[in-house]
């Protein structure tokens, strides 16, 4: 009889014993880095769909449930995802969430001051920011940007996933968290981190060699969100169509951009798949300037342990296709 009860006890407890850590991630680039470490030992629940933009995202009940059910939440930070602040606080997940922007060792850029006046083209003012990063709450003028909720263009540039160096910082933080949540698989997570670091170094060198061939070619991006990638690889961005992706430029701005294109001998104007390319088509009417989509979120990249490498490949390939 005791053997029967013992068998029943094991059968009831085993699902709990085998339960994987649940990690809620904000956007796809975060999921890519988490997946590299988690492999098949943790369950990743992404909040913002791969085809949506965090710039204008609205939470749904199903998204709130992902936060509530998660063992930990990994997000970029309030400078990009202000919509997550209250849900994290309400779910009691704020204190143990991993905020990418706030991690020690991050190399952060500030948006150039001239963006307040919508005068673009001088990207040498993107200074690296090596101070303590727990003061993000001071950049709280998001609501002054005509509905540009959750994205502040007067402080820290939050597009940190475009820097391979910053991706490694997050990978280390995720490894430590998974080891603490799932000690039985600690060696697995640490091995994955070692593989990620080695693979990232090789991929970074490969991309740098390829992009060195086009790093003098001037281009314009859809919105000012690529400084980490551009500065890391020495690319020649001379301006952007809009500071805020959801804000359409007026006639005056369109005229200014056309002047920039001519003055700087721009070879390519990039669009983004998350936003309508109509404005780009309007800008380039009657010109020979090339255009191509540039996807900062890797919406078409297949998820898996090598997803972040595929994302870097995809982004560099998009640059090369239009600049080469």
- Any domain includes 11: no
Domain end, chosen from 187, 204, 221, is at 204
Quick one: 214 and 196 in the same domain? no
**Could you tell me if 222 and 278 are in contact, meaning their C-beta atoms sit under 8 angstroms apart?**
no
At residue 8, the pLDDT reads: 47
Residues 196 and 301 in one domain: no
Domain membership of residue 57 (yes or no) is yes
Q: Which residue has the higher pLDDT, 137 or 74?
A: 74
Residues 34 and 163 in one domain: yes
Whether residue 183 is found in the same domain as residue 302: no
What pLDDT, on the 0 to 100 scale, is given for residue 177?
98
* Residues whose CB is less than 8 angstroms from the CB of residue 298 and which lie 6 or more positions away in sequence, other chains included: 28, 29, 32, 50, 307, 310, 311, 314, 315
237 and 312 part of one domain? yes
Q: Which of 188, 204, 220 is where one domain is finished?
A: 204
**Number of separate domains in the chain:** 2
Domain extent at residue 261: 210-323
Instruction: Give the mean model confidence (pLDDT) for residues 306-311.
Output: 98
Encoding tokens for residue 84?
């997550």
Per-residue confidence band for 246, with pLDDT thresholds at 50, 70 and 90: low
On whether residue 3 sits in a domain, the answer given is: no
Same domain, 200 and 294: no
**What's the mean pLDDT in 246-258?**
80
Per the structure block, which two tokens stand in for 190?
A: 């640490």
91 lies in the same domain as 162: yes
Q: What is the CATH number of the domain that holds 130?
A: 3.40.50.1980
Could you report the per-residue pLDDT of 150-163, keeping only the tens digit for each? 344 458 999 999 99
Give the 3-state DSSP-derived string for 273-293, with helices as H, strands as E and coil as C. Answer: CCCCCHHHHHHHCCCCCEEEE
Count of alpha carbons within 13 angstroms of residue 95, beta-carbon side = 1
Strands 218-223 and 268-271 come out as parallel
Mean pLDDT of 1-26: 64
For residues 218-229, give the mean pLDDT. 93
Residues shown for the chain: 324
Of the three residues 167, 184, 204, the one that is the final residue of a domain is 204
58 in the same domain as 107: yes
Helix (H, G, I), strand (E, B) or coil at 128: strand
Sequence-separated (6 or more) residues with CB below 8 Å from residue 318: 270, 292, 293, 294, 295
Instruction: Output 91-94 pairs: Cβ under 8 A, ≥24 positions apart.
Output: 91/64, 91/67, 93/67, 93/68
pLDDT of residue 10: 47
Q: SS3 for 16?
A: helix
For 26-54, letters b (16+ CB in 10 Å) and e give bbbbbbbbbbbbbbeebebbbbbeeebbb
The most confident of 42-56, 101-115, 196-210, by mean pLDDT:
196-210
Which single residue is written with the structure tokens 């939050």? 158
Q: Structure pTM?
A: 0.81
pLDDT in tens, 71-83: 999 999 999 999 9
Instruction: Enter the DSSP assignment of 110.
Output: B
63 & 133 share domain: yes
Backbone angles phi, psi at 81, to 5 degrees: -125, 60
Q: Where are the alpha helices (DSSP H) in 44-163?
A: 61-69, 85-90
Residues 217 and 312 in one domain: yes
Please, are residues 270 and 248 in contact by the beta-carbon 8 Å criterion? no
Position 4 in a domain: no
Q: Which residues contact 265 (CB under 8 A, 6 or more apart)?
A: 218
Close Cβ partners of 91 (under 8 Å, ≥ 6 residues apart): 64, 67, 68
């Amino acid at each position: 009889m005791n053997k029967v009860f013992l068998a029943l006890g094991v059968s009831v407890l085993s699902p709990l014993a085998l339960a994987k850590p649940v990690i809620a991630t904000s956007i796809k680039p975060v999921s890519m880095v988490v997946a590299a470490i988690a492999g098949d030992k943790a369950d990743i629940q992404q909040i913002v769909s791969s085809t949506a933009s965090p710039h204008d995202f609205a939470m749904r009940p199903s998204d709130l449930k992902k936060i509530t059910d998660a063992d930990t939440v990994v997000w970029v930070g309030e400078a990009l995802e202000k919509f997550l602040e209250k849900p994290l606080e309400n779910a009691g997940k704020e204190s143990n969430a991993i905020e990418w922007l706030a991690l020690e060792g991050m190399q952060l850029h500030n948006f150039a001051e001239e963006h307040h006046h919508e005068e673009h083209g001088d990207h040498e003012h993107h200074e690296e920011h090596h101070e303590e990063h727990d003061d993000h709450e001071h950049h709280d003028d998001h609501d002054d940007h005509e509905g540009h909720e959750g994205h502040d263009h007067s402080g820290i540039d939050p597009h940190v996933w475009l820097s391979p160096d910053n991706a490694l910082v997050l990978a280390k933080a995720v490894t430590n968290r998974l080891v603490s949540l799932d000690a039985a698989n600690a060696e697995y997570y640490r091995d994955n981190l070692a593989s990620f670091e080695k693979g990232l170094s090789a991929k970074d060198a490969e991309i740098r060699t390829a992009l060195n061939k086009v790093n003098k070619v001037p281009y314009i991006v859809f919105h000012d969100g690529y400084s980490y990638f551009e500065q890391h690889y020495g690319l020649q961005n001379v301006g952007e169509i809009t500071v805020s992706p959801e804000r359409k430029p007026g006639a005056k701005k369109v005229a200014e951009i056309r002047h920039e294109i001519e003055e700087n001998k721009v070879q390519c104007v990039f669009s983004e798949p998350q936003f309508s390319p109509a404005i780009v088509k309007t800008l380039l009417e009657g010109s020979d300037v090339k255009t191509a989509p540039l996807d900062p979120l890797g919406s078409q990249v297949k998820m898996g342990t090598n997803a972040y490498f595929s994302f870097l490949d995809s982004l560099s390939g998009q640059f090369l296709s239009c600049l080469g």
